[in-house]
Structure 1
Amino acid sequence: MTQAVFAAFYARHYLLILKVAQQRLNQPADAEDVASEVFQRAWAHHDGGGDLNLRWVYVTLRNVVGNEYRRRDRAAVPVAEIVGGHADSARGAPEPDTDDAVDIRRGLATLSDSDREVLYMAYWEDLSGTEIAEILGCSRTAVTTRLMRAKSRLRKVLTAQAARPVRPARPRTTTMRRGGPWGSSNATSAPPDQ
């Protein structure tokens, strides 16, 4: 009976877990590996008498994805040395660094964990309200309310960021070494003939 219960749970939730892993990792092969590991852990948990529920599997997914990020960071260092110090090229496609994307990431960083989580679930992982409710263990109405409040808090943070005055960049000063840029002891000398 245990295998049948797990098989039904797996069939019902595998595609959702895979979709979330793909959204977080941006590489299908890594996402498949992570989803597989999550369900291996879920099987061990269930086989040991633990309750099977989507919330537990989602938290496990977050932990496994975190492990994958750490693995990538460790692996990126030697590869970065090989490709000339560009660690992002070792991880796959970097996130866009547009001003809006940077502002949103900064704004999200100021929010509480629960606000950030519900926003990620809804907008980055593209989960439905019903799926979010099942993961969070609350009603769909509660999810709608939490999402509305989180968006309002993010909007306030982004508005406050936009209202801050932008400091003009300081002009860069260059210091000339004795002898000027061409190595002459006379600071007024011209560049050597070519």
Structure 2
Amino acid sequence: MDFKDDDRAREIGLTRLSKAVSRALRHEPWLFELELDEHGWTSTDGLLEALRREIPEWSDLELADLPMLIDFAAKPRHEIQGQRIRALYGHSTPGAIALVAATPPAELFHGTSPESIGSIFSGGLQPMSRQYVHMSADAETAVRVGSRKSKHPVILTIDTVAALASDVTFYRGSDMVWLARHVPAEFIRILRAG
């Protein structure tokens, strides 16, 4: 998307983009499958990938668009250092995602695409290009996350009681997100098929 073509289109595009970036970095990083460090930083590549998935018109969003977004704002809302970006203020998440091993609810949820089911049931939930598998505390959030991957996401449930008994470690990311390095297939079942 070329934000430079027309002032009106630029303003609308950058305003919408700014709101999406703020939502991802301040309020709901788990919906964008982003991991924030203890200072709120995440990779620019991860954010761009999430935004491209979010809005079809942003499929050609580039790294150079992020500084333009920052310059567009009436007051600084985000900052970039190297290959990292963060929101400067206004976080509603209870701190950035810190890895604290904890006992999760008896059941967690994960939304995914139908195409991923075969590999999940053969090798479990893997972090893929991220450091951790992201799981939701409720099915509704898993549906929202899964909808970013497919129009008809598959919603999985994770039996955390059995997984904990087999030494799977879960980390509390926030009230809504739980993390693990790997969840074996034996603890996963389909709650809702795509």
Write 1 or 2 for the structure with the bigger share of strand: 2
TM-score norm. by structure 1 comes to 0.31
Higher Rg: 1
- Quick check: which one's helix share is greater? 1
The structure whose RCO (Cα within 8 Å, separation 6+) is larger is 2
